[in-house]
């Protein structure tokens, strides 16, 4: 009886597998090196002013050459502006995704909505800021305020939320929907209590990606919120600072004390995004559907 010798082809496959593994690891290293370099630079320079004063004081009455001062007013502004933008964008984005997946099908309206979502995905951030500036401030006559920046940020958030929620809803097996319909459950209850909880983890991840994207935006805030050194807890009145604006404002000054404050602001912004992502992962894990 003759035997088939597979040692040759098997050795070639193993060699190709090792080469592919090496190339993947090399690509991963090339992608990680710039990220680690940026993080290390921000942490090393940001720790110089990462103290209690930085988080408890504003820049009011602090000159460019003066030591001290902090980003308390900018932190408050970022939390309020991003929070309001999330309140606006997340419900609209999720409801739009539900319509496209559950109701729209291949209708003309669904195609139009999909087209405009694709267009909004590629819109530069400054364009949304200029649109709100022209409509909210110039046309309607409102003043610079945190809420105007929130509207501009919500425009940037919506397409990301829609796309992420849409893809997650498409991954929900149709068997779950059909089983719910077979039990006599209405469509809207099936969506609320079966489809959305099943896709909850992925939706939360997409929402956090959208929040992380807009949290570092500077251009739309510069033309809608403006810059201030005082604490403003009311996002519906007067200019209000934000962390990206704080970093931009301090980084353009030639004094080293201002540069140190800019690095500390950048480090604070990175920590904000990291904490939000960790919180989102924790919430998604706690709310993950239990399978038996």
Domain boundaries, the chain: 8-49, 53-286
Q: Using alpha carbons, list the distances in angstroms from residue 123 to 64, 114, 126, 148.
A: 35, 15, 8, 18
Dump pLDDT digits (tens) for 13-38.
888 899 999 999 999 999 899 989 99
Q: Determine the average pLDDT of the residues in 117-144.
A: 91
For the record, the structure tokens of 269 come out as: 């912004």
For the record, the structure tokens of 215 come out as: 């949290």
Q: Mean of the per-residue pLDDT values for the chain?
A: 89
Q: Please name the fold of domain 53-286.
A: MetI-like fold (1.10.3720)
Phi-psi region of 260 (alpha: psi -120 to 50; beta: other; left: phi over 0): alpha
Q: Measured between alpha carbons, how far is 62 from 153 in angstroms, rounded to an integer?
A: 29
Dump pLDDT digits (tens) for 201-217.
889 888 988 898 899 89
The contacts found for 236-241 with CB under 8 angstroms, 24 or more apart, are: 236/145, 236/146, 236/147, 237/143, 237/145, 238/143, 238/144, 238/145, 239/143, 239/144, 239/145, 240/73, 240/77, 240/80, 240/81, 240/145, 240/146, 240/149, 241/58, 241/73, 241/74, 241/76, 241/77
pTM of the model: 0.86
Q: Which residue has the tokens 């003309």?
A: 108
């Amino acid at each position: 009886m003759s035997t088939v010798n597979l040692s040759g082809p098997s050795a070639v496959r193993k060699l190709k597998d090792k080469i592919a593994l090496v190339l993947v690891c090399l690509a991963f290293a090339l992608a990680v090196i710039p990220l680690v370099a940026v993080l290390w630079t921000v942490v090393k320079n940001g720790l110089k002013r990462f103290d209690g004063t930085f988080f408890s004081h504003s820049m009011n009455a602090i000159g460019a050459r003066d030591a001290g001062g902090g980003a308390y007013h900018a932190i408050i502004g970022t939390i309020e502006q991003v929070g309001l933008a999330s309140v606006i964008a997340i419900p609209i984005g999720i409801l739009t995704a539900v319509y496209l997946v559950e109701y729209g099908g291949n209708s003309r309206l669904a195609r139009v909505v999909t087209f405009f979502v694709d267009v909004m995905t590629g819109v530069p951030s400054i364009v949304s800021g200029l649109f709100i500036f022209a409509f909210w401030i110039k046309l309607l006559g409102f003043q610079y305020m945190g809420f105007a920046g929130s509207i501009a940020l919500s425009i940037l958030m919506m397409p990301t939320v829609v796309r992420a929620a849409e893809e997650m809803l498409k991954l929900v097996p149709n068997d779950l929907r059909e089983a719910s319909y077979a039990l006599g459950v209405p469509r809207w209850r099936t969506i609320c209590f079966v489809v959305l909880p099943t896709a909850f983890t992925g939706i939360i991840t997409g929402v956090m990606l959208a929040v992380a994207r807009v949290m570092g935006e500077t251009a739309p805030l510069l033309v809608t919120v403006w810059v201030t050194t005082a604490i403003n807890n009311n996002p519906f009145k007067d200019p209000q600072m934000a962390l990206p604006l704080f970093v931009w404002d301090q980084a353009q000054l030639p004094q080293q004390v201002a540069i140190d404050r800019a690095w500390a602001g950048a480090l604070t912004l990175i920590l904000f995004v990291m904490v939000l992502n960790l919180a989102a992962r924790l919430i998604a894990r706690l709310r993950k559907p239990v399978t038996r």
